[in-house]
Amino acid sequence: MEHYNMNLTLKVWRQKNSQDKGRFETYQVKNISSEMSFLEMFDVLNEELIREGKEPIAFDHDCREGICGMCSMYINGRPHGPWHANTTCQLHMRAYKDGDTIVVEPWRANAFPVVKDLVVDRSSFDRIVQSGGYISVNTGNAVDANAMPIEKDKADAAFAAAACIGCGACVAACKNSSAMLFLSAKVSHLALLPQGAPERKSRVLNMVAQMDREGFGACTNTGACEAVCPKEISITNIARLNLEYIGSGLVTE
């Protein structure tokens, strides 16, 4: 793959805190390698801003391996940028060409208030998980892995749902700022396994209630969430969540 350098125009959202109105600021970055990651390019920009005595751009990051879900950037109108099934830290500058203008914003959702610049507070996701995303187990020695047989199709579906990294791209892409894909992944991976059975009914009721309290919007099944999910979580999980919710609300004699 051919390596090349480029000059770019960045329009980046700057906001001091959640009370600040915020605005876009324009920056010129030069001699950016096509082999840099998007976050490395931001590091270069921040180093230049610091040398000039200016405030660096705040952005979230941690593992830079596509696992932690922290690199929440809305790039040219798409969460995590143009590449499919990709996090921002896995996006490389070869996705762009010399002279391009790149617009970078934080997630836009009432339930994700801006902390500073491109950093948003995603603790609402944490509170949803804390409300029911757990199982009851006996303490002591680990149970043998083969002691509880699980059908392969269920195990595979649970594993696929558990791949959710909680980045919030689904919320950012949804016109309603719905968290249903995230919630359905967290409910599904436990509902599909026998270990999740003890809290099965209370889990979905409590987690949906917490999601509503956090101010996320309703799901209208446009599929935007699935389209931008870096881990390709399927919206079939939303159907499963709805079945779990309806089933948990039924009272049997």
Q: What is the set of domains in the chain, with CATH numbers?
A: 5-105 (3.10.20.30), 123-249 (1.10.1060.10)
pLDDT in tens, 101-147: 999 999 999 999 999 999 999 999 999 999 999 888 777 777 776 77
pLDDT in tens, 141-185: 777 767 778 899 999 999 999 999 999 999 999 999 999 999 999
pLDDT in tens, 75-111: 999 999 999 999 999 999 999 999 999 999 999 999 9
Q: What is the DSSP string of the chain?
A: ----EEEEEEEEEE-SSTTS--EEEEEEEEEEETTSBHHHHHHHHHHHHHHTTPPPPP---S-SSS-S-----EETTEET-SSTT--GGG-BGGGS-TT-EEEEE----TTS-EEETTEE--HHHHHHHHTT-------SSPPPTTSS---HHHHHHHHHHHT-----HHHHH-TT-B-HHHHHHHHHHHHTSGGGSTTHHHHHHHHHHHHHHHT-B------HHHHH-TT---THHHHHHHHHHHHHH----
State the pTM of this model: 0.93
Q: Tokens in use for 165?
A: 């990294």
Q: How many residues does the chain have?
A: 253
Report the pLDDT value the prediction gives residue 4, as an integer from 0 to 100: 95
Report the pLDDT value the prediction gives residue 252, as an integer from 0 to 100: 47
Which region, left, alpha or beta, applies to residue 140 given φ > 0 means left and ψ of -120 to 50 means alpha? left
